[in-house]
Amino acid sequence: MPPPEPGDTPAGTIEYGGLRANLKKEGWSARGVLRLGSILVASIPIIAAQSIMVRTSKRHWWHFAGLWHRTVCRILGVEVRLTGLEHRSGATLYAANHISWVDILVLGGRLPKASFIAKSEVAGWGLLGNLCALHKTEFVNRSRRTDSARQRDYLAERIKAGHSLILFPEGTNTSGVHLAPFKSSLFSVAEHVAAHNKEPLRVQPVTLAYTEVNGMPLVRSQKPWVAWLGDVELFAHLQQLLNHARIVATVEFHEPITLDDANCRKELARYCEAEVGKGLERAHRAEFRLGPPRNVADETVPSDS
């Protein structure tokens, strides 16, 4: 067999977003089948209860939604490790990096009364769109400017009612190796709230990283096991994820900021991007397992005596 030409992707590899992984197409394992069945069985009563709560209760709608996300995380073997403190005194706009559909499960189960902001196309994604609606996801049409004012007003009302929002300012999902630039236009809701509400809206950057798989560090070539990019179908990606024993998701909460602190929307986006980027670097260096870096100047130098 002749050797592959330079630039060719070897058989049995997956390449997308400039990230090449030596992964063979996997079939269904016994673990994968068991997990999929467990998700279906656990989802029926929780989703039934959530569909009632989301229509009847404005205050307690999140409990079953959060329970479903945490339950699916446990079945998938996703262990969530938190560092830092999330801002809970009042409504908050969480600005997080976006890697995979798994982000929804990780953040949706940990941030009380927080709904996602998603592009309007997601609402038409069948079952996935229906599940997003049960979490009170706000679907935003970014292509029609005529809807933007109405959408900002509605988001401002949600915040005024005490509901938090989760925003992915990159506007797309990435491999988890580097960040895409944060779009300042997606922070317009903070600008709108500042102009119409008395209480300042706290914006908290959040770093999300997947750092371990089956007890070992998740290396670059294994990022596609979690990251959902390119033309990979959702069900095929889910099938691949179900076969792995355990994945560790690290979530770091950074210092909250207001629009007044940042002076303008663009500076707000820059601050969030910088903080999330630093958190991503720390996650890659596994500082959460090794502890904070030592301050050599503070160490006591032993005497000769």
Alpha carbon distance 278, 272 (integer Å): 10
DSSP state of 99: -
Q: How far is CA 7 from CA 4, 20, 207, in A?
A: 8, 11, 33
Helix axes 265-284, 188-196, angle to 10 degrees: 130
Measured on CA atoms in the order 227, 228, 230, 232, is the torsion positive or negative?
Answer: positive
pTM of the predicted protein model: 0.81
Residue with token string 């390119």: 230
Q: What is the predicted pLDDT for the residue at 242?
A: 82
Measured on CA atoms in the order 27, 28, 32, 36, is the torsion positive or negative?
Answer: positive
Chain segment 37-57, per-residue pLDDT in tens: 999 999 999 999 999 998 888
Q: Closest Cα partner for 87 from 202, 250, 209?
A: 202
Token output for 267: 């500076």
**Residue 117, helix vs strand vs coil:** strand
**Where do the DSSP E strands lie in the chain?**
14-16, 19-21, 78-83, 92-96, 114-119, 138-140, 164-167, 202-213, 216-217, 247-253
Token output for 241: 């994820």
Chain segment 90-143, per-residue pLDDT in tens: 889 999 999 988 999 999 999 988 999 888 777 777 777 888 888 888 888 766
Chain segment 200-243, per-residue pLDDT in tens: 889 999 999 999 888 888 877 777 778 877 666 777 778 878 87
Per-residue confidence band for 23, with pLDDT thresholds at 50, 70 and 90: very low
Which CATH architecture fits 28-287?
Answer: 3-Layer(aba) Sandwich (3.40)
Alpha carbon distance 105, 92 (integer Å): 19
Chain segment 239-278, per-residue pLDDT in tens: 878 877 789 999 999 999 999 899 899 999 999 999 999 9
Sequence-distant (≥ 6) Cβ neighbours of residue 59 within 8 angstroms: none
Q: What is the dihedral of CA 196, 197, 198, 203, to 10 degrees?
A: -120
Q: Closest Cα partner for 192 from 150, 164, 145?
A: 150
